[in-house]
Amino acid sequence: MIRVYNTSSRQKEDFITIDPNVARIYVCGPTTYNYIHLGNARPLVVFDTIRRYLIYRGYKVIYVQNFTDVDDKIINRANEEGVEAHELAQRYIEEYFKDADALNVMRADKYPKVSEHIPEIIQVISTLVEKGHGYVRESDVFFGVATFPEYGKLSGRSLDDMLSGARVEVDARKEQPVDFALWKKAKPGEPSWESPWGKGRPGWHIECSVMSTKYLGMTFDIHGGGADLIFPHHENEIAQAEAFSDRPFVKYWLHNGFITVNREKMSKSLGNFFVVRDILDKYPAEVVRLYLLSTHYRSPLDFDNTKLDEAGKALDRLRNSRAILEEAMVKAEKVAGLPADVELAREIADLGAKFVEAMDDDFNTALAFSQVFNLARLINRYLAGGIINSLGTLEDAARLFDDFLEVLGLNLKTVADDASERVDESVVGEIILDLVEFRKKARQEKDYRTGDLLRDLLYNNGISLEDYKEGSRVKFESEPVLSSLMADILALRADLRKEKAFTRADQLRDILNQYEIVIDDTREGSSWRFKA
RNA sequence: GGGCGGAUGGCGAAGUGGAAACGCUGCGGUCUGCAAAACCGCCAUUCACCGGUUCAAAUCCGGUUCCGCCCUCCA
């Protein structure tokens, strides 16, 4: 049984969907006037992981995330830049997808935008006015909070609390200070739409009430977002939706905690935010994802580079273990019933159950990760100990490993995959020139054997050399490719090391090290990778 | 002022009544021409403080100290 912490009841509840085996989820998306920052990325990754887990547990998940593309901040920013508001919003929606895709966030089933749902919004506001929940003042429409007795049930505060502690400057036209806008009269130069109350645009909260229920039904299972949306945004969504439909709006309210910097909330207003795009320049996306999931989603998560460094090392551990397992599967034999295998099979089943138990308990990704690391250690220990490995057992381990990674949305890209992304041709070119220099020195030291081997190597990679007394002329016949160049260099080093020409082998290693390329020599052979 | 949450090893972080997960760091070891990497092992008698309940408390109750968040656009 999955248990979820419901903000509404402030406790964990059994997760029972309205329709068996179908989970309908709505998550508040960003206002698209800028690149998303890390604080925006947390709910993306958190709710994506929840979605993945529900799929893993056999649910059909219908996932909707909105874009707020009509908003003061968008309008202001567009005016500053001298572009149309909708153009600006569209541009940052496209930028949003670049970041979200990098973080391996599954695409939602629907991305509704405010600008495309104006008729539906007007319809709902009209009904609210007819039912007495909304009132019109000079082309503005407000929601009368006093008409909805349950107002405050999500955020756990009473109307009296709010009235006494109100810090809002009161709009004299409001009946109550806490009343909020459903429809805002257009100011000159703003995007606006015709309505029964004159030209204007929707208030912030109404879009989510309207769009979520349009795609998911009047009552749906999960509504998610950052904890800062609990009040007033989600409180107001409930008031609007339930006053409109007279039915419960949402069954489970889930809210993620904040990212903090030096223990202060990361936010646009404080200016202490880090843009995802910049972080992804420095760290692989899967490292960022692991970092975001290393803490329970409701806890605060402090940002600092050392945490990302740690996450990177932790991820290496998983990557290595998975790679070792893959190699072992190639060499494994189809035997069964070995004592070590029986033991391993038992422990694999145990870890699988513990992973599910962790995720069942309000999506405890931190605890789930501990099981992934335990699996990695289990595999490493097993492979270190056994001479004969049973293919079937290894396949079971690999399947479980991959299931874990799929749920957590982690891609363990191989070094070769990574290489194509990180390297540009100029680096390869510089390496080639260094190799030519290296060859020159070897020849000056009368080491013609190494020199000849290098000429062959370079020729294989599309570079021909013409030796003259004063030096060598380098001709690039075709574009060298790092992966094949590296394979050849490793082969050359193997040759040199076999001949005990360690000095030359080490010199090659040093050259590559300058390009952040690390050579690892092991008993089985050598491999290369980029410095973390 | 009102509402909510937190305090766990050198660092990060799970754990809501019964032997303190996991990651990083550190230390020891295996491997190795060397280096690096990788792998294995070890590292909290103790959970902010005080008192209480209980056979049993990091976990429940009361109090104290400190910290964060919401009440205004914010994920």
Span CA (A374) to C1' (B22), Å? 8
pLDDT at A30 over 70: yes
The answer to whether residue A407 is domain-embedded is yes
Residues A362 and A445 in one domain: no
Residues A349 and A430 in one domain: no
Residues A363 and A385 in one domain: yes
The answer to whether residue A279 is domain-embedded is no
Strand B close to A203 by CB, under 7 A: no
Angle made by CA atoms A470, A472, A473, in degrees to the nearest 5: 120
pLDDT of residue A91: 96
Residues A58 and A170 in one domain: yes
CATH number at residue A378: 1.20.120.640
| In contact, A257 and A298? CB cutoff 8 Å | yes
Long-range CB contact pairs, A245-250, < 8 A, 24+: A245/A213, A245/A218, A247/A218, A247/A219, A248/A219, A249/A209, A249/A213, A249/A218, A249/A219, A249/A223, A250/A8, A250/A26, A250/A219, A250/A220, A250/A221, A250/A222, A250/A223
Total domain count, chain A: 3
What ipTM does the predicted assembly reach? 0.95
The single residue listed with the structure tokens 């406790």 is A11
Read off the pLDDT of residues A468-496 as tens digits, 9 standing for 90 and up: 766 777 877 777 888 888 889 999 998 89
Neighbours of A416 (CB within 10 A): 13
The answer to whether residue A284 is domain-embedded is no
Residues A39 and A65 in one domain: yes
Read off the pLDDT of residues A299-351 as tens digits, 9 standing for 90 and up: 999 999 999 999 999 999 999 899 889 888 888 888 777 777 888 899 999 99
Residues A101 and A158 in one domain: yes
The answer to whether residue A275 is domain-embedded is no
pLDDT at A415 over 50: no
Nucleotides of B strand lying within 7 Å of any protein CB atom: 1-5, 11-16, 21-25, 31-41, 67-75
The answer to whether residue A237 is domain-embedded is yes
Read off the pLDDT of residues A226-271 as tens digits, 9 standing for 90 and up: 999 999 999 999 999 999 999 999 999 999 999 999 888 998 888 8
pLDDT at A425 over 70: no
> Average pLDDT of chain A?
90
Strand B close to A258 by CB, under 7 A: yes
Residues A91 and A52 in one domain: yes
Question: What is the maximum alpha-carbon separation in chain A?
Answer: 97
**Boundary (domain end) residue, out of A366, A384, A413:** A413
CATH number at residue A161: 3.40.50.620
Residues A170 and A54 in one domain: yes
Question: What residue numbers bound the domain in which A204 lies?
Answer: 3-256
Strand B close to A5 by CB, under 7 A: no
Q: Half-sphere exposure of A47 toward its Cβ, with a 13 Å CA cutoff? A: 30
The answer to whether residue A426 is domain-embedded is yes
Residues A222 and A336 in one domain: no
Span CA (A412) to C1' (B42), Å? 29
Strand B close to A319 by CB, under 7 A: no
DSSP class of residue A68 equals B
Residues A500 and A463 in one domain: yes
**Boundary (domain end) residue, out of A369, A396, A413:** A413
For the segment A199-208, the average pLDDT, to the nearest whole number, is 95
Residues A246 and A385 in one domain: no
pLDDT of residue A168: 52
| In contact, A517 and A489? CB cutoff 8 Å | no
pLDDT of residue A34: 93
Strand B close to A84 by CB, under 7 A: no
Cβ-based contacts (< 7 Å) between A 8-27 and strand B:
10
Backbone angles phi, psi at A286, to 5 degrees: -70, -25
pLDDT at A424 over 90: no
| In contact, A495 and A453? CB cutoff 8 Å | yes
pLDDT at A421 over 70: no
The answer to whether residue A194 is domain-embedded is yes
Read off the pLDDT of residues A110-134 as tens digits, 9 standing for 90 and up: 999 999 999 999 999 999 999 999 9
CA distances, A184 to each of A18, A133, A294, A386 (Å): 35, 16, 42, 71
**Boundary (domain end) residue, out of A413, A439, A466:** A413
Cβ-based contacts (< 7 Å) between A 344-373 and strand B:
358, 361-362, 364, 366-367, 369-370, 373
The answer to whether residue A266 is domain-embedded is no
Q: Which residues fall within 8 angstroms of residue A101, CB to CB, at 6 or more apart?
A: none
Residues A86 and A185 in one domain: yes
pLDDT of residue A413: 67
Tokens (6 digits) for A115? 């600008």
pLDDT at A386 over 90: no
